[in-house]
Structure 1
Amino acid sequence: MQFSDLLLTSDSTMRDYYRRSYGRMRGYHMPRHFMEIPYWIPIVSSMLPDERFAKELLVVENLDDAFEQVQRGKSDSVFFFSAMDANIEALLHLARTGATFVVGGYVDPALFEEFPDVHFLHNVEDLPATLPGARDRGILDYRLFRGLECIPRYSLSSGCSLRCKFCTVPTKVVPTDPMTLESEVDALEPLDFRLVFLDDKSFGDAKNWREIGNLRKRFETVNPDFEGFIVQMPPSFAVRGDFLKECVELGVRYVEFGVETANDDLLKYLRKPFRMRHLREACDRVRELGLYLVPNLIMGIPGDDYHGTVEWVREYVDIIPAVNVNWLATHFGNERGDLGLPAETFGDRDQNTAEKTWLSEAEAAAGRDAVELVYSLTDEYWQDRMTYPQERVVR
């Protein structure tokens, strides 16, 4: 079961912004209920053999309807969920049906102590020990999403060697088994896509990053409309020698930088592996290579006035067709964080809300205003423009 964004996010400002932006960005698709396919679902589906389980995707738009549906099916069904602070209250409400739930995610497992039929997994690899008939993780199974226009994820590695304070990603980088790389491409066959998002948390961190060049033909065989990759990396990677140029030659079309904020003091506080000089040099290279940049920004950092971030977006808006915005959150399980911030409310732990105990109302309003401004800057510049032409030339 997956909670719809239409249920979890009452404010449509962000959804409307993405729908406008994606409509101008070649190869981008935004499904109705989520920004992208919830990656955990094809993972879990691969662990449930067809001969033992009949699988169905249920998207929760209306909580009352979902409650009745779970109630009706609880005698012979197991319901899988990914728990986040944004959906935990809705999930706890459904748990009151007494149905069997298998739950993973970044929340405190103690929240489910009163529900004996809720089984919390700290790692998806523990599923076979919890559910009879389940097996070890296999090739991703996307059949529940057949025909969906989307941007699927694909991984050459997991983990990230960087140690940004707010992040919960494991710091050990583990390359994907090379024996499964082509099979994981083949698994995308049910989907309708032009671009693939490389889920490597810092592309270039793992030594196998050049494998995308070898895999391009495989992607094109699976989907003749395939056009290239989206990657994410810190700006400090982008300025290493000819790394970014080689990325373009391997098929990268868009790049995401974890910018967070254009303020050196706050970048240091977050333990980001770059400073503004690296960011500007990286942006200049993006511009020279004909790439497009989607920066990831974080609002709600204590002491941020957002002026530097807004001015940086204004300076490079010609290469920024969209921005991704989240709010600083003290996620459960972030053992290395040491942000020095409280985790007293759901809002403190939810990256989708400005309601933080460390922000005054004026500070929260300033952050919301900054979001509106960076949205309007990119909207205004790109409203009559489209991203890349059919033929791309690396300058």
Structure 2
Amino acid sequence: MNNRTRRGFLRTAAATAVTGLLGGALLPETLRSQISPDTTGILPDTSAPRRTPRRRKKEEPRPLLKPPMLKPGDTIALVAPASGVSRGEILEATETLKRLGFAVKTGSHLTKDFGYLAAPDQERADEFMRFIADPEVKCLMAVRGGYGVMRILPLLDFEAIRANPKIIIGYSDLTALVNPIFQKSGVIAFHGPVATSTFDTYTLDSFRRTVMSNQAAGTFDESEEFSGIRFSEARAATIVPGKAQGRLVGGNLSLVAALMGTPYQIDLRGNILFLEEIEEEPYRIDRMLMQLALSGKLGECAGVALGRFTKCEARTRGGEFAVSLSLEQVLRGILEPLRIPTVYGLPIGHIKSKLTIPVGGLATLDGDARTLTLDEAAVG
């Protein structure tokens, strides 16, 4: 996620909380009820007796459920669970998907301007669930990431999602959607292109092999776009050799870290964690990975598949520090001691040529060959 954009979000949120100008209108109802009206949740109520916090009951994983395979002529619904896009982008995305052989339905909240959100939380959640219930819709594709998915998680009906399994796909902020969907409903979801992505040959091939075939998609390595490029820029590289098999979970590092400590945190035990990031300086990558490491979560993984960390190298001008560790130093310094198979530079993330990754799909990571193999079909 972009540093400048994130800081803007934080400044806006802080100002809103302190002044109370919006009276909590931007908060989901499930969160608003927990906030003191006179302090907007900034200060604790010291007058109330302290209660021992209840230990959250451990949630048992749901049985795995594969959504039906997407076929030519099927209907894709365009949704905006986070930020919106322009009308021109919607028209272009619709035409692209139609050229690829799909029918398209568009949500009514794709272009609304509600601050940095496409629409108020309840409206975005309701529209998402409406397409889940629509029997004509076989796939829900986000129009973009941005910010806002975490705000609607308490408003989603995961039982309804399980009762109506569909292909749900997106990346970036959608990390906070596809992982909870898999964990709360058991339905495999997909970290992959959004409707406004460039569907180049590599991206389209991976999309078709993963969601339009009931056969295992097979092995993926670095795309042709990356071949011959240095580690610091893109090329796939081994950080820790060895092989690991597990179910795929993860996505954008900022969102993976942000979900920790919530009811929607990602279960990493025995799974292959895939990560990507954009426009974060090495010290921020360091901080987020250390949060995962110190919480004990990172060491629970079977393997780590690192995608592209786009524009995450130390900045020679305008950065936070005059002298910095390199991205490679940060990644190796934190991940090598774990001694679990780890590869850097796979085509995952904020890049033109990207993989479609089934969240919940079984895969093998080969640290020596620098490949990721999808071992089973992700759709039924």
TM tier, smaller: 0.3 to 0.5
Q: Which has the higher helix share?
A: 1
User: TM-score if structure 1 supplies the norm length?
Assistant: 0.32
The structure showing larger relative contact order (alpha-carbon pairs under 8 Å, at least 6 residues apart) is 2
User: TM-score if structure 2 supplies the norm length?
Assistant: 0.33
